[in-house]
Amino acid sequence: MTKNRYVIEPIGIIRSKLTDLADAPMQGIEGGYEAWLELSLQVAEGLFGIKAGDHLIVLTWLHLAQRDTLQVHPRGRQEAPLKGVFATRSQDRPNPIGLHQVRVLEVAGQKLKVAPMEAIDGTPIVDIKPVLSQKNDR
Amino acid sequence: MTKNRYVIEPIGIIRSKLTDLADAPMQGIEGGYEAWLELSLQVAEGLFGIKAGDHLIVLTWLHLAQRDTLQVHPRGRQEAPLKGVFATRSQDRPNPIGLHQVRVLEVAGQKLKVAPMEAIDGTPIVDIKPVLSQKNDR
């Protein structure tokens, strides 16, 4: 087993009206919000080629997650049998990376307006990728 | 802009016959290999509920990537115009997290046999999630 550790330096931050985790939908498809991805100026040129209408996968660091959780009751229902976190989308997991499939509504400098986004205001952004299809460039 | 940094501790490692990046297909759908996901014993109970036939997203840390690259020629074609790395699936990017959609072929203790996997032998595994659909549990 590797003992290496790797350091993530966020490339930006989510700006959203959604500020309370208790109000957050469990998945964007269940009612996410419009949000701005505010990229750091240092990585802004990495956005070159992204335009309104594009479908992207946004990777976030779910900074409020419990990293020592390995099993959960799916969707927080105590009556549901425990499941391994890797069999669920629980935010609580050893490396709490969130995946969010969004559409770009607007590009303004190093900011992208996207929807739907269920991560709360202040969530760090780790990476952005195009949605994978046979046509996408590597 | 947040100045926080976050530490990833890999949950396991890819075991594959694919050992040379030069032989790796650009995407799993372009001809990935069968591979074993060897999870650390400490996180093994997080696999509870995963079974053969499941569709998963495996997140890896592409440890050979260049983290200071912000623009690339898509698919390495020098004649293609430069594009921002966030508009591509290039492994070279500030936080080189790979996304791999796979099917589970076999579960053996804390090991999962999956395909197709284009990441090379020794690539650290960061997270595992079910493929998202309306039916999936959070």
User: Does the pLDDT of residue A66 top 90, yes or no?
Assistant: yes
Q: What are phi and psi of B110, to 5 degrees?
A: -95, 20
Does pLDDT of B52 surpass 50?
yes
Residue A120 — very low, low, confident or very high, per pLDDT cuts 50/70/90?
A: very high
Contacts of A80 in chain B (CB under 8 A): 137
CB-CB neighbours of A28 under 10 Å = 23
Asked if the C-beta of A107 comes within 8 angstroms of chain B's C-beta atoms, the answer is: no
Nearest chain B alpha carbon to A26? B138
**Average pLDDT of the residues of chain A:** 90
* Range name among A61-70, A75-84, B33-42 with the lowest pLDDT average: A75-84
* Confidence (pLDDT) at A133: 64
For residue A47, CA distances in Å to A16, A82, B6 come to: 20, 40, 22
Contacts of B42 (CB under 8 A, 6+ apart): none
Report pTM: 0.91
| Cα distances (angstroms) measured from residue B18 to each of A15, A59, A95 | 41, 26, 25
State how far the Cα of B114 lies from the Cα of A81, in Å rounded to an integer: 25
Q: How many residues does chain A have?
A: 138
Instruction: Assess whether pLDDT exceeds 90 at residue B21.
Output: no
pLDDT tens readout for residues B53-102: 999 999 999 999 999 999 999 888 889 999 999 999 999 999 999 999 99
Please judge whether A47 and B84 are an interchain contact, meaning their C-beta atoms are less than 8 angstroms apart: yes
**pLDDT digits 0-9 by tens, A46-60:** 999 999 999 999 999
Query: Does A13 reach chain B within 8 Å, measured CB to CB?
Result: yes
Q: Chain B contact for A115, CB < 8 A?
A: no
Nearest CA in chain B to A10: B5
- pLDDT for residue B134: 45
Give the Cα separation of A80 and A90 in Å (integer). 14
Distances from the Cα of A131 to the Cα of A15, A53, A110, B45, angstroms = 22, 12, 20, 31
Q: Which helix (H) or strand (E) holds B111?
A: strand B111-117
Residue pair A69/A93 in contact (Cβ under 8 Å)? The answer is: yes
Matching residue, tokens 């050992």: B19
Q: Nearest CA to CA, how far is B22 from chain A (Å)?
A: 15
**Chain B environment of A13 (Cβ under 8 Å):** 1-2
The region, left, alpha or beta by phi > 0 then psi within -120 to 50, assigned to residue A26 is alpha
| DSSP assignment letter at B104 | E
Task: Give the whole-angstrom CA distance, residue A89 versus residue B58.
Answer: 12
Per-residue model confidence (pLDDT) at position A25:
73
Instruction: Report the chain A residue with the minimal C-alpha distance to residue B91.
Output: A138
Q: What pLDDT, in 10s, does the model give residues A13-25?
A: 999 999 988 777 7
If you average pLDDT over residues A94-105, what whole number do you get?
A: 97
Q: Percent of chain A, pLDDT > 90?
A: 77
